[in-house]
Homo-oligomer: A and B are copies of this chain.
Amino acid sequence: MEIHQVKQALVLTSRLEDLGHLPIKVLKSLSTGATLVAMDPIDVKPGDWVFTIANSAARDAAGDKRLLTDLTVGGIIDDWQPE
C-alpha cells in the first residue's frame, strides 16, 4: 500500500457504467509526487493523508469485486507528518 494526500474530486464527462457510484478522487503520492486517481469508499477530504490499496485487493476494498478500479482508499492516517 502507499501513502497519498487527497487533492480534489475528479469530474468526468463520460465514464464506464461499472465504475459504480463511489466518488473518484485525485491523489498525490507521498513518495514520488505523482498524481493518481482512486475510488473512495470512506469519503475523504482534500488535504487528508490516506493510504491506498492497489490491484486485485482494490476491487474488494471498493465493496464489490465487479467495480472497475485498480486503486482504492483504505483508511485515513492520523496526524501524518510528512518529512
Contact = CB atoms under 8 A, between A and B. Distances in A.
A11 to B, nearest CB: 4
Contact of A30 (B35, B58, B79): B35
A69 interface: yes
A81 to B, nearest CB: 11
Could you say how many copies of this chain the assembly holds? 5
A1 B41 CA distance: 15
Contacts of A56: 55-56, 59, 70
Interface string A30-53: 111111111001100000000101
Given A51-B37, A55-B56, A75 B14 contact: yes
Contacts of A70: 1, 53-58
